[in-house]
Chain A
Amino acid sequence: MKPPQFDYHAPGSIEEAVTLLGSYGGDAKVLAGGQSLIPVLNFRLARPGVLIDINRIGALSFIREADGGVAIGATTRQRMIEGSDIVGRRAPLLADATRLIGHLPIRTRGTIGGSLSHADPAAEDPAVVTALDATMVALSKRGERRVPASGFFRSLLTTALEPDELLVRIEFPPTPAGTGTAFVEISRRHGDFALAGVAAQVTLAGDRASEVRLAACGAGPGPIRLAAAEKIVRDGGASAASIEAAAAAAAAGVEPTSDVHASAAYRRDLVRAMTRRALERAVARAAGGTR
């Protein structure tokens, strides 16, 4: 099918975009990379009265080192993130995950801010920001608001963004020395939505795992921080037994549903297997110094 009619605005500045959002609010949808929104429009699953296209706002596309971590503009393309040396060094988990998003022609257009605002429960970016507890920075006429990942994803396809708020950048915390990361997922074909996936970041200090960060996608209405599994590895170290126990705890802590692609029980078992694989890989990378 073809998209329904809409009023189209392509502001050239962040201020202009925020003013437009302030006046249209709930009637408007923000068009970033469009790799999720345009299919929705093509199938007429949504009929927004107004589309605010933020692709012409150069100030929303950047990757820069900030406070030891990295700040990324909302319309930065996934393809740019994938190839970024800064992201590879400062947020290696994001680099790992981005390679698994759709296909190269999708990542040419797809943006990090679009993926986070869309909040598909199977998507990679929401799991990454959840694992790392990154900060989403939203802007409206009322001012700037900083929302940690733990408070950003509310439910299926729903975030804490108000109708007049624009996600402008994402701030990732520093990655400590001695850290390894891995993002692993299972999908029927490369590029399909993951049936389930797990993001892992482990920091080793001698025999101890001083910091462990885990989050799952495809295993509930939104990304899920696997806190119980994190604690097991933090307290028990990165031994095979500890990783196996963490994987079991991860599976127990998710709320997957059944659909045409996979049953809830299968998804739960995938979370167990993906947690084990992600932890093993992250630990190996941390030990080998390859991140």
Chain B
Amino acid sequence: MTAPRKITLTINGTVRSAEAEPRMLLADFIRETLGLTGTHVGCEHGVCGACTIIVNGEAQRSCLAFAVQADGATITTIEGLAASDRMHPLQKLFHECHALQCGFCTPGMLAAALDLVGSHDRLTTEEIRTGMSAVICRCTGYDGIMRAVTAYADQLGKLAPAKG
């Protein structure tokens, strides 16, 4: 029962199949078996958020799930955001707002932010601040990240007006 199992999933719009031992983490399967190294592995215990990806429409830690559990799932990683050479609007805002320096946390930041904004009809800046604490950045001090995600929520008409 520790033998490798076949896993089939849809990742960034492509159906992929490969084998993995049951103990293989989803993060390692994506990086090492599927060769999509944009998903980063930091703490391996769910705290840092660098490995955050979108599974069946919701952000989760890919270090806190086994690859076998994602059999049949639909996944989006950082590689799936841009349309050919055109950056996703949130990527563009991260670029414009200086929301990254070393970039290690950025794939997780984008996944967490897309889910946060996508799953709410309305967000206050305080809710965005709380939501973005889901991923640890040790370069930017979060100011640029807050500007980018706030601007993204505003673009989608989801930013709650500041209390006057």
**A contact residues vs B (CB 8 Å cutoff):** 1-10, 34-35, 38-39, 41-43, 50-51, 53, 55, 79, 102-106, 108-109, 189-191
Known: A8-B2, A42-B45, A105-B112. A2 touches B133 (CB 8 A): no
Neighbouring A residues of B44 by C-beta, 8 Å:
1, 39, 42-43
Asked if A106 contacts B46 (CB within 8 A), the reply is yes
Would you give the shortest CB distance from B12 to chain A, in whole angstroms? 19
Neighbouring A residues of B60 by C-beta, 8 Å:
105, 108-109
Asked if A8 contacts B28 (CB within 8 A), the reply is no
Asked if A105 contacts B115 (CB within 8 A), the reply is yes
Fill in one digit per residue for B6-23: 1 if any A CB lies within 8 Å of its CB, else 0: 000000000000000111
Asked if B68 contacts A8 (CB within 8 A), the reply is yes
Neighbouring A residues of B69 by C-beta, 8 Å:
10, 34, 53, 55
Question: What secondary structure prevails in chain B residues at the interface with A?
Answer: mixed
7 contacts between A and B (CB under 8 A): A8-B22, A8-B68, A35-B61, A41-B23, A104-B59, A105-B49, A109-B60
Would you give the shortest CB distance from B76 to chain A, in whole angstroms? 13
B52 closest partner in A (C-beta): A105
Q: A102 vs B133: C-alpha distance in the bound complex, in angstroms?
A: 10
Asked if B133 contacts A191 (CB within 8 A), the reply is yes
A3 closest partner in B (C-beta): B23
- Give the size range of B's interface with the partner: 20 to 34
**Contact with B63, one of A5, A42, A104, A190 (Cβ below 8 angstroms):** A42
Asked if B23 contacts A2 (CB within 8 A), the reply is yes
Known: A5-B23, A34-B64. A189 touches B133 (CB 8 A): yes
Fill in one digit per residue for B70-106: 1 if any A CB lies within 8 Å of its CB, else 0: 0000000000000000000000000000000000000
Q: A94 vs B111: C-alpha distance in the bound complex, in angstroms?
A: 27
Asked if A2 contacts B2 (CB within 8 A), the reply is no
Given contacts A42-B25, A191-B133, 18 further A-B contacts (CB under 8 A): A2-B23, A2-B25, A4-B23, A7-B2, A7-B22, A8-B5, A10-B68, A38-B25, A51-B22, A53-B66, A53-B68, A53-B69, A55-B69, A103-B134, A104-B59, A104-B116, A106-B64, A108-B58
Neighbouring B residues of A4 by C-beta, 8 Å:
23
Decide yes or no whether B131 CB sits under 8 A from chain A: yes
Would you give the shortest CB distance from A57 to chain B, in whole angstroms? 13
Neighbouring B residues of A7 by C-beta, 8 Å:
1-2, 22
Known: A79-B58, A189-B133. A9 touches B65 (CB 8 A): no
Known: A104-B131, A105-B60, A189-B133. A5 touches B45 (CB 8 A): no
Neighbouring A residues of B59 by C-beta, 8 Å:
104-105, 108
Question: What secondary structure prevails in chain A residues at the interface with B?
Answer: loop
Asked if B58 contacts A39 (CB within 8 A), the reply is no
Neighbouring A residues of B25 by C-beta, 8 Å:
2-3, 38, 42
Neighbouring B residues of A38 by C-beta, 8 Å:
25, 45-46, 63-66
Neighbouring A residues of B61 by C-beta, 8 Å:
35, 105-106, 109
Q: Point out which of B66, B131, B133 has the most chain A C-beta atoms below 10 A from its C-beta.
A: B66
Asked if A39 contacts B64 (CB within 8 A), the reply is yes
Q: A79 vs B5: C-alpha distance in the bound complex, in angstroms?
A: 29
Neighbouring A residues of B68 by C-beta, 8 Å:
8, 10, 53
A7 closest partner in B (C-beta): B1
Neighbouring B residues of A1 by C-beta, 8 Å:
44
Asked if A105 contacts B65 (CB within 8 A), the reply is no
Neighbouring A residues of B23 by C-beta, 8 Å:
2-6, 8, 41
Q: A105 vs B130: C-alpha distance in the bound complex, in angstroms?
A: 12
Q: A50 vs B5: C-alpha distance in the bound complex, in angstroms?
A: 16
From residue 128 to 153 of chain B, which have CB atoms closer than 8 A to chain A? 130-131, 133-134
Would you give the shortest CB distance from B86 to chain A, in whole angstroms? 26
Asked if A109 contacts B112 (CB within 8 A), the reply is no
Would you give the shortest CB distance from A9 to chain B, in whole angstroms? 7
A37 closest partner in B (C-beta): B64
Asked if B49 contacts A39 (CB within 8 A), the reply is no
